[in-house]
Chain A
């Protein structure tokens, strides 16, 4: 039984305040932009198969006191399953991974991913890689419960959201590119952490 990714995003967004989010890809970017407008500056919008959860893990390593959320996808995670083994070994205490699994490469029109045939179980792969808290949420209620648990967890937590592949109609598209998104995100991290990441140039 699948459900709306946009509705799932709203449930997750309602639980977020000072977390940092890294996400991908395609339609999920525009949906997150609208589903959690209070998290726009705290979210790094990426267009990167295979980079999202590793980047989120790197951010979690660098900011161990901060909760980090990776919003990955079935296609994105399948591109680099090795990160699951790295999470299993490194055991970050502040990382929640959400995998939007709509069983398709939606941004290019919907060709099937390997999860579409019903045999590939991303949560089971994660558990086999050492991420013990890895689950599939078949309903919105289950998804919401896993978000609550994952945001409070002290070891890596992964939830696969089986969504329906229907883009939320009528939402406003995000207009910025990857560079502008990076600057917005970095300035938010700087302000909220009281640190400098991209500072002034030298006088010499």
Chain B
């Protein structure tokens, strides 16, 4: 992941008031995780699966603080049960930042399914999302995702793709 993209993500999270990040690390965003760990304003919580990370983020919402779940887009599959229960069942929002594995140009066979399942799953979960491919868009896209999540009390997602993560 590009250094300027990492910095833009951190700026966006701070502008949105985020103080907790749960994550299951992946390769495309690998430079982002240590940057989050090193940031004094953000507590990071590594988790064992993305559903757990979503549920922790939901609990943070209930405290009045703001959280983000950071993951590969394959994590959406692991988190779908938890996201459906909290979002559709109770209106507890989770804001997600995920890498776009399986995008056009993907060169790993095992990552192709991640691209196939991501958008249909986001749509099935009725989760609005923005696919971001330029550094200039990142900060505002993150802030707007929180605006939407805290107006709808529902999930929102940012997908980082293209040259940002390649």
Residues of A within 8 A of B (CB): 22, 44, 46-51, 54-63, 80, 82-83, 85-86, 89-90, 178-179, 181-182, 185-186, 189-190, 193, 195-198, 201
Contact = CB atoms under 8 A, between A and B. Distances in A.
Nearest to A83: B52
Nearest to A201: B151
Given A48-B85, A50-B81, A51-B82, A83 B48 contact: yes
B92 A182 contact: yes
A160 to B, nearest CB: 20
Interface residues of B, number: 33
A86 B63 contact: no
Given A48-B82, A61-B43, A179 B91 contact: yes
Contacts, number: 119
B48 A189 contact: no
Given A58-B20, A182-B91, 20 more contacts: A46-B90, A49-B81, A50-B82, A51-B82, A55-B55, A55-B86, A55-B92, A58-B61, A58-B63, A60-B59, A61-B43, A61-B60, A63-B64, A80-B49, A82-B48, A89-B46, A178-B90, A179-B89, A179-B91, A197-B64
A48 B85 CA distance: 6
Q: Which of A181, A182, A201 has the most CB of B within 10 A?
A: A182
Q: Classify the secondary structure of A's interface with B.
A: helix
Nearest first, the 10 closest Cβ-Cβ pairs linking A and B are A58-B59, A62-B63, A82-B48, A54-B55, A178-B90, A55-B59, A58-B56, A62-B65, A58-B60, A59-B59
A86 B62 CA distance: 19
B47 interface: yes
B52 A90 contact: no
B36 to A, nearest CB: 15
A197 B61 contact: yes
B8 interface: no
Interface in B1-60: 20, 22, 43, 45-49, 51-53, 55-60
A62 B55 contact: no
B52 A86 contact: yes
